[in-house]
Amino acid sequence: MKIIIAPSKYIQGKDALKELTKYGKVFGKKFLILADEFVTNLTKDLIVEGNSNEDVELSFALFNGECSKNEINRISEIVKENGSDVIVGVGGGKTLDTAKAVAHYTKLPVIIAPTLASTDAPTSALSVIYTDSGVFDEYLLLPKNPEIVLMDTEVIANAPTRLLVSGMGDALATYYEARVCYAAKAVAMAGGQPTMSAMALATLCKNTLFERGYAAKLSSDANIASEAFEEVVEANTYLSGIGFESTGIAAAHAIHNGFTAIEDCHHLYHGEKVAYGTIAQLVLENAPSEEIQKVIDFCQLIGLPTTLVEMGVKGNLEEKMRIVAEASCAEGETIHNFPYEITPAMVYDAILLADKLGQR
């Protein structure tokens, strides 16, 4: 069976947060807005000012920083006390995942408003739950995607460029991983095999990055929400979001997970490790040289790591890469979405050859 899933509505543009309730009021009148302290300081005034003319009630809850069961229960209690009927998450990944989980347990609609374009998680029907001390706990698979994903590109253009670039690293993997899953008829997180439609979005994602990625990076450096910037925000968030969820992931993300096993790479963002994993995946597939070179050139142009030194790996290279390769091939890892068997030895070779190609 083929399946594609998506948020019900995707809204993107300058000052979109000022129109939050204009689009959200079809779902209710009492909005509970969840954001951490930093994002509250950044956005509360513009949300209040922009949404004052609608016949709605806004209340704000401060997110404590961890998407844990205790925090989800605490916010759910606030929702019940306030009689809120719409949940809004504003900020980064953990805030958004908490908003999704709260909406799920209180059976309310949710609006997701990222202040960054650093990953493809916002559109998904998934929350990653941690313990109170920040250790991974479990994946909470939700029965539906968010009602609305709303991207205020004015706010996002003022975020650090490294986060946008990291988002491009995450989005870069989408097409290449989709291609593997499509060939293998693998079942994606959406619960079915990739559709033609999802494949078309994954292809558009890749083309948008290659054509607009560098201009978007420069726009972010200058804090300008240019057309190129808008296109890349859409690629990082919507195209890559539908992509990973409805076409599936493969070696790039598995190798990313492998790199989380070594201390040296803990300073890197998700998309930075995924970018290196993408190059290693292409080597693993024995993709045409021109295709691999195009990806390496793009990564170097926008500032994504293409060598192990740039990944922060210092000393004991072979030993560490054996650990990464082993972890990449753990049971249940998405690397097994390949249409043929992948072994740690194959991944090890691919990681080291990717490093040599990056150095050239």
Residue 20 beta carbon to Zn ion: minimum distance, rounded to whole angstroms: 26
Phi, psi of 143 (to 5 degrees): -75, -10
Residues that bind Zn ion (CB under 5 A): 170
Residue 351 beta carbon to Zn ion: minimum distance, rounded to whole angstroms: 18
- Cβ closest to Zn ion, residue 170 vs residue 310: 170
SS3 334: helix
Q: Please pick, among 253, 297, 349, 355, the residue that the annotation labels catalytic.
A: 253
Mind spelling out the 3-state secondary structure of 6-73? Answer: CCCEEEEECCHHHHHHHHHCCCCCEEEEEECHHHHHHHHHHHHHHCCCCCCEEEEEECCCCCEHHHHH
Q: Please pick, among 104, 152, 270, 355, the residue that the annotation labels catalytic.
A: 270
- Cβ closest to Zn ion, residue 86 vs residue 209: 209
For residue 266, indicate whether it is catalytic.
no
For residue 170, indicate whether it is catalytic.
yes
CA 36 from centroid of its chain's CA atoms: 19
- Cβ closest to Zn ion, residue 84 vs residue 174: 174
> What number of CA atoms fall less than 13 Å from residue 178's CA on the CB side?
30
For residue 336, indicate whether it is catalytic.
no
Question: What is the C-alpha separation between 257 and 255, in angstroms, rounded?
Answer: 5
- Cβ closest to Zn ion, residue 21 vs residue 124: 124
Question: What is the C-alpha separation between 84 and 82, in angstroms, rounded?
Answer: 5
Residue 274 beta carbon to Zn ion: minimum distance, rounded to whole angstroms: 5
Helical segments of the chain, H only: 20-24, 37-50, 69-82, 93-106, 153-157, 161-184, 196-221, 227-234, 240-247, 251-259, 270-284, 289-302, 317-328, 344-359
Element of type H or E holding 126: strand 126-130
Element of type H or E holding 112: strand 110-114
- Tokens encoding 251: 């070696």
Q: Please pick, among 256, 266, 349, 355, the residue that the annotation labels catalytic.
A: 256
- Cβ closest to Zn ion, residue 170 vs residue 245: 170
Question: What is the C-alpha separation between 162 and 170, in angstroms, rounded?
Answer: 12
- Cβ closest to Zn ion, residue 170 vs residue 230: 170
- Tokens encoding 247: 């076409």
Residue 233 beta carbon to Zn ion: minimum distance, rounded to whole angstroms: 16
Nearest residue to 87 (alpha-carbon basis) of 59, 114, 67: 59
Name the residues annotated as catalytic: 170, 253, 256, 270
